[in-house]
Amino acid sequence: MKRHIDISAVTRNRFEEIFGKGKIPVRVSAPGRVNLIGEHTDYNDGLVLPVAVNRYVHVTGRIRQGSSIEIHSTAFGELHRFSFESEINPSLSGWKRFAEGVIRTILKNTNKQVGMELLVENDLPVGGGLSSSAAFAAGLGSVTAMLNRIELSPFEFARTLQNTEHVYAGVECGIMDQLSILLSRMGNALLIDCRTLQIDYIPLPADWSLIVLDTGVRHDLAFSEYSERRLQCTKIVELFRQAGKGFTSLRDVTACDLDQLEKVAGSSGVLLRRCRHVVSENHRVTKTVSALKTSDRKRIGHIFHDSHQSLKNDFEVTCPELDSMVEAACHAPGCIAARMTGGGFGGCTVNFVTADMTEKFINETLSDYRKRTGRNGTSLQVSGIDGIMPCEGKHQ
């Protein structure tokens, strides 16, 4: 695990203002991630291609006397205190419940429960589609493990973090965010096969910039719609099973099977469209990998376009603002490829841009977006960086 002892003076002062002077704390910086392609495929055992980016949740912590835990979040401007002597308060909600859940889960089944003082600082926008919640959990979990001298394998750790999102944040997410935050490598995207957990590193073209554009829109329905999409995918697998196919997930479905689904899925066609998105999106991940290897701008532009259209029309997780941002980007100078990224219903788009056109691209896209929607979007130029547990070579 990457441990930082070169804590900035600002963090050190902030830490001491909250917790008082004492031992030098340890610090872990958990990056956010942007998914290049492979959307809503991770929980269907499919392929994804995320990049860990240079925006972080920093967690600084040290051991304290006794068994109580104090966590201060600068993003929320609040302190949470709890002790292992009592169970988690069932009425606890929001970031406090999630933070407590992460720590309790990491320490479950160990006899290690040291008291801790923890400071959480963000330069990753909260709820902005760059996986701030998975980074929060990964940072807290890593410092908890370090201070309690617990060794975790990246895969075991990723599964534990995913489980805490399900139980304590109420989001039935896949495994993509956790693995990319832990295992990414500088200058590369991470190709994850979410069925086998095989990981390959795919270099990003050096003369392309990676730009994240935030629509500024956050929809409350994102959580409920996400759960609904998951349920629909499970239902499709069940329908195939009833029709005699031995599928365990949508990863098993081929384009030829879609005709059969049309017959059994009823007249609405909704399930057929959901399935078509997942099947075609897996292919697009593979095609993106080969387009990246040859720096094929035209091809990647088409693939991102098709992905966005599929998410808009078949999976129905975009919104007018995401569609407008992508359309604006496609008309802007220097654009190589643009699509929505993450769960959808607001949040961000991901864009490849010719490096020397970056500023012009951002200005023109955001100005066009403003004309189309009356909203001010924002931009982040990001680069692919190491995850918390960077590794050499292939995995699994």
Closer to ligand GAF by CB, 25 or 344: give it.
344
User: Quick check: is 193 catalytic?
Assistant: no
CB of 48 to ligand GAF, least distance (A): 7
Position 342 contacts ligand GAF (CB under 6 A): yes
- Give the nearer residue to ligand GAF in terms of CB position, either 119 or 222: 222
What is the Cα–Cα distance from 166 to 355, expressed in whole angstroms?
39
Nearer to ligand GAF, 146 or 326 (CB): 326
| Residue 301 makes contact with ligand GAF by CB under 6 A | no
- DSSP secondary-structure letter at 357? G
Report the Cα 351 to chain-centroid distance in Å. Answer: 16
Q: Does 43 bind ligand GAF (CB under 6 A)?
A: yes
Q: Does the protein bind ligand GAF through residue 377 (CB under 6 A)?
A: no
**Consecutive H or E run containing 150:** none
Residue 315 host element (H or E): none
DSSP state of 384: B
At 238, list the tokens.
């069940």
Task: Check residue 42 for interaction with ligand GAF (CB under 6 A).
Answer: yes
**Dist. CA 344–CA 172, nearest whole Å:** 15
* Size of site (CB under 6 A) for ligand GAF: 11
Q: Comparing C-alpha atoms, which of 191, 125, 193 is closest to residue 382?
A: 125
13-21, 35-43, 149-157, 253-261 -> range binding ligand GAF (CB under 6 A): 35-43
- Other Cβ atoms less than 10 A from the Cβ of 259: the count is 9
Smaller CB separation from ligand GAF, 25 or 31: 31
The answer to whether residue 339 forms part of the interface with ligand GAF (CB under 6 A) is no
Q: Which of residues 154-193 bind ligand GAF (CB under 6 A)?
A: 173-174, 176-177
Interface residue with ligand GAF, options 25, 128, 343, 377 (CB under 6 A): 343
Catalytic option among 42, 45, 177, 323: 177
The rounded distance, in Å, linking the Cα atoms of 391 and 370 is 42
Q: Does residue 314 belong to the site contacting ligand GAF (CB under 6 A)?
A: no
CA dist list (Å): 125 to 93, 334, 347: 20, 26, 10
Rounded-to-integer distance, Cα 51 and Cα 39, Å: 13
Catalytic residues: 177
- Which residues lie near ligand GAF (CB under 6 A)? 35, 39-40, 42-43, 173-174, 176-177, 342-343
